Structure 1
Amino acid sequence: MKLSGDNLAASLSRQLSSIYLISGDEPLLVNEAADAVRARARSQGFTERELHVVERGFDWQALLSNSKAMSLFAERKIIEIRMTNPTPGEQGADAIIELATEPSADNLVLIVTGKMDGRVAGSRWVSAIEKHGVVVQIWPLELARLPAWIRDRLAKQNLKADAEAASLLAERVEGNLLAAHQEVEKLALLLPPGPVTADTIVDAVADSARFDVLQLGDAAMKGNAARALRVLEGLRGEDVEPPIVLWALNKDLQWIARCQHLMRRGQSPDSAMNALYVWRNRQPAMKHALSRLKPKTVRELLLSAERADRMIKGVIRSDPWLEFERLVAGLAGVRLATAA
């Protein structure tokens, strides 16, 4: 049987197979699928877990022999095989086929590996698992689905997020599901059950430097260069990671550039911001920026953001915080010297 990750829970509720293969390149979803299989297996009496990590020179015959050995206390066990590379070789393929075609009532085999290409997915060992067990393919979550995914995760924590709140978190984590999962867990600790808005999220983590960066862009867009530079210095003093600061500034600049494009096509600032789903709590400051920043200036600021990114990555040998000062001042309407 072949399943997607979304259908695994329903399949497990109906029947537990003797062998599972979970494949994908999204670590959070792959691990959660493996957790679901283990949990279901434990509920069926598979109390022992035996983990094998496949590396060069791995002894597949020893694994087979061990799988046939009875436990001292006759406990049913999960034989978990983790392969960093979804190509086990001839000996490994033979061993997996034997595990699939000659199952033991006392063993459940769980194989976890990375994304399989078409050639591997059609290999004889994968076909054997598909015929005698379950192949679960985990696909990356499309960015357009991320806000809904976040809302669903928050709902499981008794937090009912509106679309704007989910969009804020989705933009913040930039498609990283593990980061999104961590933010959901943090909010579950910070917030009481109930509705969640974008303002609620910002207020709940007002003391968190990861969200203080939002105040940076707000002050700069309002033209308050002194306050913006003070916030920037505070972030640096708190050892906030430069990529977080860059994310916040670049997000506002991208929104401003896209709004200007729509405004040149006849839209008002309000309609342009709404069309681009600019967070409502950002709109007053952004409207101020749109009224004074010329498209040429915004293009220069985007180039400055790109330069800061190259500094962070080490492509340009310079301090990104100096480029941030120039960028923040420019967004606020003050020109500083170019960072070295």
Structure 2
Amino acid sequence: MQLRPEQLESHLEKALAPIYLLSGDEPLQLMEAADAVRAAARVQGVEDREVFNVDKGFDWEQLSAAAESLSLFARRRLLELRMPTGKPGAHGSKVLQAYARRPAEDTVLLIETGRLDASDRKTAWCKALESAGVLVQVWPLDLAGTQGWMQRRMRRHGLQPTADALRLLSERVEGNLLAATQEIDKLVLLSGPGPVDADAVLSAVADSARFGVFDLVDAALAGETARAVRVLQGLRDEGIEAVLVLWALAREIRSLHRMAEQVEANKPVQQILSGVRPQRRQPIVRQALRRHGEMGLGRLLASCARVDRAIKGRHPGNPWDELLDLTLNLAGTRVVPDHSPLTGTP
């Protein structure tokens, strides 16, 4: 059975499953999901706990032996298997499948692992564990997901944020749920339960947003110029290499150019967009295709080459100013030749 992170709490109020497989690369959600399983286990009389850390030399027979042995000190047990890579190997896969076929009596197996991609989900060990227990996958949240997560979190603390306050807070801590938790705790301490407006957020919250290069790409595709510039500035401030930012933008522009060629060949747009993944990105890709024709995207590719030369010192321009031009053009904003450069130094 698969559950979303927000469904886990209500599930745990009922009977415990014999196996929980928690996967993902968003640390706070993963940590809190594991904590919730442990807390529910304690409530239901699970007192004995044994932890296994899977590294290169891990002996999988330890798990098999623990499953077959009886606890000397408690009637029910919690076995925790921490597997950062999500790759148990051939022997580990066999052990996990065998456990899934016959879960240990009066025992809960909690497995924490890194992000499982589509191929991992199709492996025999993963399917066996999901069939015998519960799979919870956690993902980094986009801006909309961050707003929903924060609204639920704030309400649990008795805070009643206005729409403007919630939007502002989410933007300022986007991509960093650990910082978001700290800021919510700060708001509770400063103002106590009750209404929270944008002014309260502005006075209490530090700008803790952490961005990735794909946040920049999606903002530019959606034509969100102000946000795209803010993300680009954040990437520079955090020390992200200019070449990595260029790689992400150029990769997307090349993909758009290929799609535009298909549009020019009268291939149905919906058929072209069907290959865009994840599916939720299709609307912003459609926007970008409407904004830039094949020729326009060709010019953007030429701009990518200019940025590349600037990064390599073969063009006199500042690489980050060139990236700003490229980002603005991709977002559909005409670049004025004497635009202000990004602030700060790389």
Greater mean alpha carbon deviation, residues 85-94 or residues 73-82: 73-82
Counterpart check, 1:51 vs 2:51? yes
Counterpart check, 1:22 vs 2:62? no
Is the Cα contact below 8 Å between 1:2 and 1:130 reproduced in 2?
Answer: yes
Of 275, 299, 324 in structure 1, the residue corresponding to residue 339 of structure 2 is 299
Is the Cα contact below 8 Å between 1:21 and 1:136 reproduced in 2?
Answer: yes
Counterpart check, 1:82 vs 2:82? yes
> In structure 2, what is the Cα distance between the partners aligned to 1:299 and 1:83?
49
In structure 2, the CA distance between the partners of 1:304 and 1:245, relative to structure 1 (3 Å rule), is: closer
The 3-state SS of whatever aligns with 1:90 is: helix
Residue correspondence of structure 1 range 164-243 to structure 2 within 5 A? 164-203=164-203, 205=204, 210=206
Q: Give, in angstroms, the shift of residue 246 of structure 1.
A: 5.8
Q: Give, in angstroms, the shift of residue 243 of structure 1.
A: 6.8
The 3-state SS of whatever aligns with 2:20 is: strand
In structure 2, the CA distance between the partners of 1:141 and 1:304, relative to structure 1 (3 Å rule), is: closer
The 3-state SS of whatever aligns with 1:96 is: helix
> In structure 1, what is the Cα distance between the partners aligned to 2:153 and 2:147?
10
Could you report, residue by residue, the CA deviation over 1:269-325 in whole angstroms, capped at 9, with x for unpaired residues?
Answer: xxxxxxxxxxxxxxxxxxxxxxxxxx859831xx232x53x2xxxxxxxxxxxxxxx
In structure 2, the CA distance between the partners of 1:244 and 1:115, relative to structure 1 (3 Å rule), is: closer
In structure 2, the CA distance between the partners of 1:73 and 1:245, relative to structure 1 (3 Å rule), is: same
Is the Cα contact below 8 Å between 1:81 and 1:111 reproduced in 2?
Answer: yes
In structure 2, the residue matched to 1:98 is: 98
The 3-state SS of whatever aligns with 1:17 is: coil
TM-score relative to the length of structure 1? 0.61
Residue correspondence of structure 1 range 8-157 to structure 2 within 5 A? 8-157=8-157
Could you report, residue by residue, the CA deviation over 1:317-336 in whole angstroms, capped at 9, with x for unpaired residues?
Answer: xxxxxxxxxxxxxxxxxxxx
In structure 2, the residue matched to 1:225 is: none
Greater mean alpha carbon deviation, residues 98-107 or residues 51-60: 98-107
> In structure 1, what is the Cα distance between the partners aligned to 2:186 and 2:337?
37
Q: Give, in angstroms, the shift of residue 194 of structure 1.
A: 1.0
Is the Cα contact below 8 Å between 1:148 and 1:166 reproduced in 2?
Answer: no
Q: Give, in angstroms, the shift of residue 245 of structure 1.
A: 12
Greater mean alpha carbon deviation, residues 134-143 or residues 86-95: 134-143
> In structure 2, what is the Cα distance between the partners aligned to 1:54 and 1:36?
22
Greater mean alpha carbon deviation, residues 66-75 or residues 30-39: 66-75
TM-score relative to the length of structure 2? 0.60
In structure 2, the CA distance between the partners of 1:93 and 1:140, relative to structure 1 (3 Å rule), is: same
Is the Cα contact below 8 Å between 1:147 and 1:163 reproduced in 2?
Answer: no
Q: Give, in angstroms, the shift of residue 31 of structure 1.
A: 1.3
Letter in 1 for 2:111: I
Runs of 5+ consecutive residues of structure 2 not aligned to the other structure: 208-232, 239-334
In structure 2, the residue matched to 1:283 is: none
Could you report, residue by residue, the CA deviation over 1:40-62 in whole angstroms, capped at 9, with x for unpaired residues?
Answer: 11111111221111100101102
The 3-state SS of whatever aligns with 1:81 is: strand
Letter in 2 for 1:304: L
Over the matched positions of the two proteins, sequence identity in percent amounts to: 42
Is the Cα contact below 8 Å between 1:99 and 1:109 reproduced in 2?
Answer: no
Number of residue pairs aligned between Structure 1 and Structure 2: 225
In structure 2, the CA distance between the partners of 1:299 and 1:10, relative to structure 1 (3 Å rule), is: same
Letter in 2 for 1:13: E
Could you report, residue by residue, the CA deviation over 1:136-165 in whole angstroms, capped at 9, with x for unpaired residues?
Answer: 122332212322322221111111111111
In structure 2, the CA distance between the partners of 1:24 and 1:244, relative to structure 1 (3 Å rule), is: closer
Q: Give, in angstroms, the shift of residue 89 of structure 1.
A: 0.3
Residue correspondence of structure 1 range 303-322 to structure 2 within 5 A? 303-305=341-343, 308=345, 310=346
> In structure 2, what is the Cα distance between the partners aligned to 1:115 and 1:36?
19
Is the Cα contact below 8 Å between 1:5 and 1:139 reproduced in 2?
Answer: no
Is the Cα contact below 8 Å between 2:47 and 2:74 reproduced in 1?
Answer: no
In structure 2, the CA distance between the partners of 1:151 and 1:49, relative to structure 1 (3 Å rule), is: same
Is the Cα contact below 8 Å between 2:142 and 2:174 reproduced in 1?
Answer: no
> In structure 2, what is the Cα distance between the partners aligned to 1:200 and 1:297?
39
Runs of 5+ consecutive residues of structure 1 not aligned to the other structure: 212-241, 248-294, 311-340
> In structure 2, what is the Cα distance between the partners aligned to 1:115 and 1:104?
26
Q: Give, in angstroms, the shift of residue 25 of structure 1.
A: 1.2
Could you report, residue by residue, the CA deviation over 1:100-126 in whole angstroms, capped at 9, with x for unpaired residues?
Answer: 211122211000111111111011111
Letter in 2 for 1:299: H
> In structure 1, what is the Cα distance between the partners aligned to 2:136 and 2:87?
16
Letter in 1 for 2:173: V
